[in-house]
Amino acid sequence: MAGRADVSTVNKILLLQVLVLFLVIAGFFSVGGWENALSPGLGGLIALLANFVFAYWVHLASDKQPQEMLRFFYFAEAVKIFLTVLLFSIFFQVPGVQLVTLMLGYAAVLLVHWFALILW
């Protein structure tokens, strides 16, 4: 039963991150069009994809023994960090990407974790 509640909380956080990503994109789009929304959208996508992959690997470990669960957790965190670095390096190559707004989008999606801790 506890595992189901954890998955539910993770799903809530991921859905809230998707919502924040769409809000960030919509906000920047309303100010300056697609050129202005591209960078924060890509930044938010980096955080969202990395967190989704992390949640997937941790979910796979939910029925494992504690020692194996810990290995899955460390592996998931390593994959998340690697994926984050890889996506940043790829998205920096996209023409027209602005560093500041890319980081704003990334930070906005990451802040969902902190607000989720406060709210839940």
Q: Which residues contact 40 (CB under 8 A, 6 or more apart)?
A: 24, 25, 28, 101, 102, 104, 105, 108
Per residue in 55-88, pLDDT (tens digit) is: 999 888 888 899 999 998 999 999 999 999 999 9
Residue 11, domain extent: 2-119
Whole-structure pTM over 0.75, yes or no?
A: yes
Per residue in 5-63, pLDDT (tens digit) is: 555 788 889 999 999 999 999 999 999 889 899 999 999 999 999 999 999 998 888 88
Number of domains in the chain: 1
Q: Which residues contact 113 (CB under 8 A, 6 or more apart)?
A: 13
Q: Exposed (0-12), middle (13-18) or buried (19+): which is 114, by Cβ within 10 Å? A: exposed
Q: Nearest 5°: phi and psi at 75?
A: -65, -45
